Chains A and B, each alone.
Chain A
Amino acid sequence: MSDQSTNSIAFVASGDIPQSPPPALEAGAVKWMRENLFSSIPNSILTLVALALIYKIGMNTIPWIANGVWNTKSLAECRDVLDGTVAGCFSVLTERWNQLLYGFKYPSDQYWRPNLALVLMLFAAAPVLFFDLPRKLLTFTAVYPFLAFWLIWGGPVITPIVALLGCAAAAWVFNKYGKANFALGFFGGIVAALIVWKITGFAIPESTDGTWLQAVASRDLGGFMLNLMLGVTCVSLSVPLGIALALGRQSSMPLIKGICVVFIEFIRGVPLITLLFVASVMLSYFFPPDATVDLFLRVVIMITMFSAAYIAEVIRGGLAALPKGQYEAADSLGLDYAQAMRLIILPQALKISIPGIVNVAVGLFKDTTLVSVISMFDLVGMIRGPILAATEWNGVYWELLGFAAVLFFIVCYGISQYSQWLERRLATDHR
Chain B
Amino acid sequence: MKNSVFFGAMAFAGLAAGAASAGTLDDVKARGELNCGVATGLVGFAAPNAEGEWEGFDVSICRAVAAAVLGDATKVQFVPTTGKTRFTALASGEIDMLARNTTWTFSRDVDLKFDFIGVNYYDGQGFMVPKELGVSSAKELDGATVCVQTGTTTELNLADFFRINGISYEPVPVETNAESQQQYAAGTCDVLTTDASGLAASRTVFADPTAHVILPEIISKEPLGPLVRHGDNEWGDVVRWTLNALVAAEELGVTSANAEEMAAGTSNPEINRLLGSDGSLGAMLGVSDDWAKNAILAVGNYGEVFEANIGEETQIGLSRGLNAQWTDGGLMYSPPFR
Where the two chains meet, the residues of A that have a C-beta atom closer than 8 Å to any C-beta of B are 75-76, 79, 95-96, 99, 104-105, 108, 219, 277, 280-282, 284-290, 373-375, 377, 381, 384-391, 394-395, 397
Contacts and interface: CB of A to CB of B under 8 A. Distances in A.
Contacts of B48: 99, 104-105, 386, 390
A27 B309 CA distance: 69
A386 B46 CA distance: 8
Contacts of B94: 284, 289
A385 B79 CA distance: 13
B44 interface: yes
A105 B47 CA distance: 12
B130 interface: no
A70 to B, nearest CB: 16
Given A99-B52, A386-B48, A391-B314, A288 B40 contact: no
A384 B178 contact: yes
B84 interface: yes
A96 to B, nearest CB: 6
Contacts of A381: 40
A389 B46 contact: yes
A273 B247 CA distance: 41
A96 B47 CA distance: 13
Interface of B: 13, 16-17, 19-21, 39-44, 46-50, 52, 79-82, 84-85, 88-89, 91-94, 176, 178, 181-182, 201, 204-207, 314-316
22 contacts: A75-B205, A104-B48, A105-B48, A284-B89, A285-B17, A288-B20, A289-B20, A375-B79, A375-B80, A377-B80, A381-B40, A384-B40, A385-B47, A389-B40, A389-B43, A390-B48, A390-B50, A391-B47, A391-B314, A394-B201, A394-B205, A397-B182
Contacts of A76: 315
Contact of B315 (A104, A374, A391): A391
Given A284-B93, A381-B40, 19 more contacts: A76-B315, A79-B207, A95-B50, A99-B50, A99-B52, A282-B88, A285-B13, A290-B20, A373-B84, A384-B41, A386-B47, A389-B40, A389-B46, A390-B48, A390-B50, A391-B47, A391-B316, A394-B205, A397-B178
Contacts, number: 105
Nearest to A103: B52
5 tightest Cβ-Cβ pairs between the two chains A and B: A389-B41, A395-B205, A385-B41, A385-B40, A104-B52
B257 to A, nearest CB: 24
A375 B43 contact: no
A75 B206 CA distance: 10
B42 A389 contact: yes
Nearest to B181: A395
A162 B201 CA distance: 52
B207 to A, nearest CB: 6
Contacts of B39: 385, 389
Contacts of A377: 40, 80
B43 A391 contact: yes
